[in-house]
Structure 1
Amino acid sequence: MVKTYPAGHRPAPWWQALGLSGLLLLGSCNTAPRSLAAKDVPDESECAPLTPVVAPKGYAVLPEATLATDSLLARTFSADALRTANVCGLVPQLRAMLATEPGTLARVVARQQVSSRLTDVALEISSTAGELDCEEERADQIADFLLDEAGSRVKNLTILAILLGALGTVATGLMSLFDVRKTIYRPVGIAIGLIGAALGYSSLRTSAAADIPFSHRRNALGDVWHGPAESTVFPAAVWNFLSRPGIRGATQPPLRKRLLNRWLTAGELGAKDAEEKKQLEDLLFGEGGTYKADALRIRANLFDQLESTVNLMKSDVQQLAREVAEVE
């Protein structure tokens, strides 16, 4: 018995139904990237101190030659402790303390003034390390978002490629089984194969394509890179600790230069070609720009290393405090 259909109500051919089902299935996988609004990107003000960092009144760092000629200081304190005292601006207070008679009220008052300044320096170190750690976490957080977004898109594109490949195999197989002309099903197979290849290529490029605006007008890395005489980010004592030669060894170059040497040779920038290195330098050590996840990871690593270098000052200040406490 031949089945008849009302005029205008004949069902669509099977290959059209199969194609429509495939399109619906593919459409159910969303490959659109998630977006992060600019207002949702953590701002650098979240890490900066509430008030600008200023040097204490009367703060001054003396030339090394001046320290070498003071025999009383040299007899009382070690060379490393004197260098630490100098970057903390404490040499005048140490001289004043040693000028007082042991056991007198004047000696007690002078020692308290030195101890108070050492406490301030310790807090400055902790505050600076906290800001550097905050900036590291800020960069890491956005890098994680970009990588998660890329991973989600790659997953969806991979699912699409698998479904499309399966759909193409089934469609061309059925067309061949039902003796559909080769001029129809062969182009269909080629088209589905090209679309699958395009999806695979898109998944490869997805992780490298995600980027986001990321600003840092207050940039500690920029000060380390450019090396100004005075820093607007670091407290004076911490900046002098990083930028003066002879710290942690009389013949040693400044810690800032040693840090830069690590970055530019064996560190995050050492393996880059000249053009990529120049782009990263402008991005990392300037006021910000459009970052990809790998550049944000580099920025976070640089902050981690800088924070570790700043924390070295804690042991130096502790040594100086011990030697001050041993003075009669």
Structure 2
Amino acid sequence: MMKKTLSGFFYIIIGASQFLSCRNANIISHLKLNVSSQYCAPTIAYTYNPEFIPYSNTDSILVNSKTLLGKLSEHDVLMANATGTLSLINKLLESKKDTTINGRLNRLEISNKIQNHLHLLTTEISGIAAELDCEGERADLFAGYLDDLNDKKTARLTGASIVIAALATVAAVMVNNHGLQNGITISGGIISAGLAVLTIKPHGKKMSYTHERNVLEDIWFAPEKSAIYPPFIWYMLKEKKFSNSKQEPLVQTVKNRWNKFELDKDIDSTTINVLFKNGGIYDADKLHTRATMLNQLQSTIRSINQDMQSLISELNNLNADK
């Protein structure tokens, strides 16, 4: 009986040792969850009317808009440029000088064109915000899936640690040889401790997750033109006068927050490629980080609605003036 117990214990020790020596974390493809890499991307490619592309030289715009600055704030003049309606608003002001029927009809036509375009831009804000929300939810979904798998592994490690410690105690009691008792106790303690250490920092499962259209990429690298964000939104993200500090653009303040709170200012090229390019191997922590950054960016994009509200309100007042 004693020999069988000892034999069984040593088999457990050997099995646990092999388990501990296994360093290969299983990598799961996101396709296993039936979620494609383009799940959140627009179904069609958008085109933008060149008539409404904003001008990039902000200082020149303000210098050449002295008449309009008497009617609108500097912020709303820049918003008019961002929305591509600056020339139309100037035409609206000019049309007010003509009080004939034709003049009023022309004024109404210009006003409708402005309002229709501003309405289109609000859908652009909603569309990008929806994509960011979708991407954030997807990253959270994957992170939760890995967390669940890793929690189950931790539970198994804890259970194995308890069983090995108990078996080592029983086996040591049943052995008369003092040296063998010590060997069993030490071996059982080492394996049990090793399993306990793994519960503190488990070598968890990871996920192969690619994203051909990475909505974080342009925010991190800040190119002159964006292939993802509409010209209106990209202009606002790149123009420092739309930030609260007026010292750096929104795209930079977002990146600064990521560096300080999510990335701890310590990020290597591998992490940059995973988070801000085509993706790669994610662990649960990186997926949680990605989800948080997406949610922060979504809030910034949605805040553009406040700037739109200011412009629309001022245009309504301008149009009402006799």
- Structure 1 partner of 2:51: 58
CA distance in 2, matches of 1:139, 1:309: 19
Report the CA distance shift for 1:144/1:313 in structure 2 as closer, same or farther (over 3 A).
same
Q: Is the 8 A contact 1:84 1:317 kept in 2?
A: yes
- For residues 240-296 of structure 1, the C-alpha deviation after alignment (integer angstroms, 9 at most, x for no partner) is 1101232246943211112222222x3212353xxx444322321121111111111
Q: Secondary structure at the match of 2:207?
A: strand
Partner of 1:292: 283
Which residue does the alignment assign to 1:153?
153
Query: CA offset at residue 19 of structure 1?
Result: 5.8
1:193-204 matches, within 5 Å, as 193-204=189-200
1:321 aligns to 2:307 (yes or no): no
Contact 1:60-1:89 at 8 Å conserved across structures: yes
Task: Say if 1:316 and 1:143 are closer, same or farther in 2 by CA, change over 3 A.
Answer: same
Secondary structure of 2:52's aligned partner: coil
Matches within 5 A, 1:1-328: 13-16=1-4, 20=8, 36-41=28-33, 42-62=35-55, 63-64=57-58, 65-101=60-96, 104-175=104-175, 180-206=176-202, 208-248=203-243, 251-264=246-259, 266-272=260-266, 276-326=267-317, 327-328=319-320
Q: 8 Å contact 2:132–2:295 — kept in the other structure?
A: yes
Separation in structure 1 between the aligned mates of residue 212 and residue 132 of structure 2, nearest angstrom: 14
TM-score of the superposition, structure 2-length normalised? 0.84
CA 1:196–1:310 in 2, change beyond 3 Å: closer, same or farther? same
SS in 1 for 2:241: coil
Cα 1:52/1:322, change in 2 over 3 Å? same
Shift in Å at residue 21 of structure 1?
Answer: 9.3
SS of aligned partner of 2:95? coil
Q: Matched residues in 2 for 1:97 and 1:280: separation?
A: 51
Local SS of the residue matching 1:124:
helix
Distance in 1 between residues matched to 2:152 and 2:10, nearest whole Å? 21
Distance 1:183 1:70, change over 3 A: closer
Equivalent position of 1:9 in the other structure: none
Secondary structure of residue in 1 paired with 2:281: strand
Could you tell me whether the CA contact under 8 Å between 1:80 and 1:249 is conserved in 2? no
Could you tell which deviates more after superposition, 302-311 or 40-49? 40-49
| 8 Å CA contact retained: 1:44, 1:135 | no
In structure 1, distance between residues paired with 2:178 and 2:38: 66
Which residue number corresponds to residue 3 of structure 1?
none
Shift of the 157–81 alpha-carbon distance from structure 1 to 2, 3 Å rule, reads: same
Q: Distance in 2 between matches of 1:91 and 1:196?
A: 72
Deviations 1:117-158 (A, max 9, x none): 110111100111111111111111111111221111111111
Question: Bigger shift: 214-223 or 247-256?
Answer: 247-256
Q: Which amino acid aligns with 1:40?
A: K
2:83 and 2:246 map into 1 onto residues whose CA distance is: 20
Contact 1:132–1:306 under 8 Å retained in 2: yes
SS in 2 for 1:289: strand
Unaligned runs of 5+ in 1: 1-12
Structure with max Cα Rg:
1
Report if aligned partners of 2:28, 2:206 keep a CA contact under 8 Å in 1: no
Q: Separation in 1 of the partners of 2:67 and 2:119? A: 24
Separation of aligned partners in 1, 2:186 and 2:252? 59
Q: Is the 1:158–1:200 contact (alpha carbons within 8 Å) kept by the matching residues of 2?
A: yes
User: 8 Å contact 1:68–1:74 — kept in the other structure?
Assistant: no
1:91–1:302 CA distance, 2 compared to 1 (3 A) = same
SS of aligned partner of 1:58:
helix
When residues 271 and 236 of structure 1 are mapped into structure 2, their CA distance, relative to the original with a 3 A threshold, is: closer
Q: Which amino acid aligns with 1:269?
A: L
Instruction: Name the stretch that deviates more: 77-86 or 247-256.
Output: 247-256
TM normalised by structure 1 equals 0.83
Question: Structure 2 counterpart of 1:66, which letter?
Answer: I
Measure, in 1, the Cα distance between the counterparts of 2:83 and 2:185. Answer: 75
